[in-house]
Amino acid sequence: MLIGTAGHIDHGKTTLVRALTGVDTDRLPEEKRRGITIELGYAYLPQPGMNDTPEQVIGFVDVPGHEKFVPTMLAGASGVDFALLVVAADDGLMPQTREHLQILELLGLGRGAVALTKADRASPERLARVSHEIAALLAPTNLAGAPIFPLSAITGEGVAVLRDHLFDVARSLPQPAGEGGFRLAVDRVFTLPGAGTIVAGSVHAGQIAVGDTVIVAPAGTTARVRSLHVQNRKAEQGRAGQRCALNLAGLSVDQVKRGDWLSGAGQVLPVTRLDIDLQLAIDAPRALAHGAVVQIHHGTRHLPGRVALLDASLEKSGLPPGRRSLAQVVADAPLHACRGDLVVLRDSHGRHTLGGGRILDPFGPTRQRRHPERLAILAAQALTDPAGRLQALLGQAPLGLDLAQLAVAENRRSADLLALLPAGAFHLTDRADWLIGHQPLLILARRVTARLAEHHAQHGDEPGLERDRLRRMVAPQAPAAAFTDWLARWLGEGLLARSGSAWHLPDHKVELDARDRRLADTLLPWLQDAGFEPPWVRDIATRLGQPEALTRDLLKRLATRGETCQVVRDLFYTPAAVRRLGTIANELMAEHGAIRAADFRDRTGLGRKRAIQILEYFDRVGFTRKLGHGHGEQHRIRGELPVN
């Protein structure tokens, strides 16, 4: 169990932790000199009668109480299981008592206790009055009914009673399952002679073990776990709900800082737009304006940003204190966030805590944030049951969901999400890792067939529409790879047909007239015999004795029928030749991991210019993708060659 202290400055938080654990968490010379906590402090308390293992050790995160150090308090409160609110009996409730309690509420902490310190300085009547005030303050919060323990950390009176209560709570808490990917919010980075970089923090999710690879997010730097301390004990593995210190190999101390996350090996996608369910504090100084500049606190990091209210009715008036609204928090710099993370907002000067909320979608859109379809998706994101949430999301996503992005947002493995896939939904994987519901895919199929039927009616002499043009007409927001997968599925179902690069309805046929068929039958053998070096349009026209424009038009119509392939404006290959060239490209990819123009030229026997023209054609039809420029330019296979 991780316990976080909270409370006003000089109410005895650090002294209490020392009385409970024997550890003085103030380690900085300035803290010793001034007698106040400035940085986060850590202490550990083994449970009596238990094995001295990390699972049986209670961890304490001691936070500063001064108003100037509220960001540090927020960093320390991130990831704790239990709040220990400290109130001095002589002072009673003070400003930071209230602000810290408000922060605990915004962080969703529902387990806690109150230490009524300095009880030796107060009369029984004073203790009773302050206890009553504390209970009244807690009544409307998640900590309502939390036990209050009068004590003196100096004399020791009452400390043992509180300690025993903490032991009882720790024993009663269920052990976190360690589900999801590993995520640790970094709050401390240092070096040790002979060890190297040490990164410490509270584990929010998942598990970690010696030898594992971690990613520093949002930067994306990787490192290996050389050794591990959990709850101040050397260990082989750690999990959610524990403090871990990781000795990382392959990472310098300047490559990671407080505010970063350590994430398990996998995909890390930095984000800047967080759609959240925002609750404005009841005692916020004023309404929160649409577009207000704020300080965003997430995990152990804080950074500036703005708030966009997604309720259009609040655009002029703002969000009143005590009210809720969907909002988009736009950070000034990338961060690493997942659905369910908590965000706290403070004013731009860092003087007041304004409110906070839970992240519904870390991948908020830049446009149409208030569109009814978007708000329906956020309503689905608010569902707590993972299977029900996925089903609702698929029902509200007309173009489906990117599985990899969804897995990052949910901090779950793709396989875990696929296990929740509702009946009738599809997981398409040929080119995109994409999920789509049965009804949305059915609607898309109807739109595609209707658009093709309309095109056939208007342009009966054309074989159909090329993929990208069809996508722009029917679903311009759909990723090209996902749209290609949908077409392939409909092709397999017999709903669509393809001639060359043209998609059409199965019963749509375009026949050449007798003259064009005769010319085609004459020129196609010439292309076949020429192999990788077909003649140019002007040479074919001369040999046919036909105008160049007529010959070019005929070859283009043959290309839409799948009988030729137009590599450049006046250069056409047979499908068989293109397939052989594609085979060579695949061979080079298998041998070298990429296709360079020089290698392709040498393997095909073509000139450099012609080799580049063919590789650019492969890029254009989606068979390959060009990477790099100049001497570093290369191509990689990205899909199937769309040639019959």
**pLDDT tens figures, 86-112:** 999 998 999 888 988 888 888 888 899
Mean pLDDT to the nearest integer, 393-413: 92
Question: Please, which pLDDT band fits residue 351 given cuts at 50, 70 and 90?
Answer: confident
d(CA 210, CA 450): 57
Q: What is the CATH number of domain 514-573?
A: 1.10.10.10
What are the angstrom distances between the C-alpha of 581 and each of 232, 567, 600? 62, 12, 9
d(CA 347, CA 359): 19
Alpha helices in 177-285 (DSSP H): none
The pLDDT assigned to 28 comes to 46
3-class state of residue 623 by DSSP:
coil
d(CA 116, CA 123): 13
| End-to-end alpha carbon distance in the chain | 63
Residue 555 is encoded by which pair of tokens? 């070859």
d(CA 260, CA 218): 7
Q: Which residue shows structure tokens 């409970």?
A: 20
Is residue 481 exposed (0-12), middle (13-18) or buried (19+ Cβ within 10 Å)? middle
Helix (H) or strand (E) holding 241, with range, is: none
pLDDT at 411 over 70: yes
56: which DSSP letter? G
The pLDDT assigned to 31 comes to 41
The pLDDT assigned to 218 comes to 92
3-class state of residue 578 by DSSP:
helix
Contact 638, 624 (CB under 8 A): yes
Burial profile 274-293: b = 16 or more Cβ within 10 angstroms, e = fewer:
bbbbbbbbeebeeebbbebe
pLDDT at 394 over 80: yes
pLDDT tens figures, 245-276: 999 998 999 999 999 999 996 778 899 999 99
The pLDDT assigned to 318 comes to 94
d(CA 359, CA 462): 50
The pLDDT assigned to 566 comes to 93
The pLDDT assigned to 632 comes to 81
The length of the chain, given as a count of residues: 644
d(CA 530, CA 543): 14
Taken in order 12, 14, 20, 22, the sign of the CA dihedral is: negative
Q: Which residue would you say has higher pLDDT here, 379 or 13?
A: 379
pLDDT at 33 over 60: no
3-class state of residue 573 by DSSP:
strand
Mean pLDDT to the nearest integer, 397-417: 92
How do the domains of the chain map onto residue ranges? 2-172, 183-264, 271-373, 383-509, 514-573, 576-637
The pLDDT assigned to 67 comes to 61
Question: Please, which pLDDT band fits residue 29 given cuts at 50, 70 and 90?
Answer: low
For a pLDDT cut of 90, what percent of the chain falls above it?
Answer: 64
3-class state of residue 242 by DSSP:
coil
CATH topology of domain 383-509: Arc Repressor Mutant, subunit A (1.10.10)
pLDDT at 36 over 60: no
The pLDDT assigned to 127 comes to 94
Is residue 215 exposed (0-12), middle (13-18) or buried (19+ Cβ within 10 Å)? buried
pLDDT tens figures, 536-591: 999 999 999 999 999 999 999 888 788 999 999 999 999 999 999 999 999 999 99
Q: What is the second-level CATH architecture of the domain 576-637?
A: Orthogonal Bundle (1.10)
Residue 97 is encoded by which pair of tokens? 């008592």
Q: Which residue shows structure tokens 């026997």?
A: 605
Same fold across 271-373 and 383-509: no
pLDDT at 242 over 70: yes
- Edge-to-edge strand list for the sheet holding 502-504: 465-466, 502-504, 497-499
Mean pLDDT to the nearest integer, 421-448: 89
Q: What is the CATH number of domain 271-373?
A: 2.40.30.10
- Whole-model pTM: value is 0.79
pLDDT at 325 over 90: yes
The pLDDT assigned to 238 comes to 92
Residue 23 is encoded by which pair of tokens? 């550890």
Going along 255-350, which residue ranges are E strands? 261-264, 271-280, 292-298, 301-309, 324-335, 342-347
Contact 468, 476 (CB under 8 A): no
Pairing of strands 243-249, 261-264: unpaired
Q: Count of CB atoms within 10 A of residue 431's CB?
A: 18
Mean pLDDT to the nearest integer, 493-515: 88
Which of 205-214, 250-259, 366-375, 497-506 comes out lowest in average pLDDT?
A: 497-506
Task: Tell how far CA 229 is from the center of its chain.
Answer: 28
The pLDDT assigned to 501 comes to 77
Name, in order, each residue with C-beta under 8 angstroms of 602's C-beta and a sequence gap of 6 or more.
none
d(CA 117, CA 152): 5
Contact 204, 176 (CB under 8 A): no
The backbone torsions φ and ψ at residue 152, rounded to the nearest 5 degrees and listed phi first, read: -135, 115
User: For residue 541, which amino acid is it?
Assistant: A
Which option is the CATH number for 2-172: 3.40.50.300, 3.20.20.70, 3.20.20.60, 3.40.50.1970? 3.40.50.300
The pLDDT assigned to 549 comes to 95
Which option is the CATH number for 183-264: 2.40.30.10, 3.40.50.2300, 1.10.645.10, 2.160.10.10? 2.40.30.10
Which of 10-19, 473-482, 602-611 comes out lowest in average pLDDT?
A: 10-19
Helix (H) or strand (E) holding 124, with range, is: helix 124-138
pLDDT tens figures, 281-321: 998 889 999 999 999 999 999 999 999 999 999 999 999 99
Q: Which residue would you say has higher pLDDT here, 48 or 440?
A: 440
Instruction: Tell me the CB-side half-sphere exposure of residue 91, using CA atoms within 13 A.
Output: 17
The backbone torsions φ and ψ at residue 46, rounded to the nearest 5 degrees and listed phi first, read: -70, 145
The pLDDT assigned to 185 comes to 92
Contact 432, 448 (CB under 8 A): no
What are the angstrom distances between the C-alpha of 90 and each of 34, 35, 153? 21, 18, 14
pLDDT at 38 over 50: no
The pLDDT assigned to 14 comes to 86
Residue 205 is encoded by which pair of tokens? 């999710």
The pLDDT assigned to 428 comes to 80
pLDDT at 35 over 60: no
The pLDDT assigned to 444 comes to 96
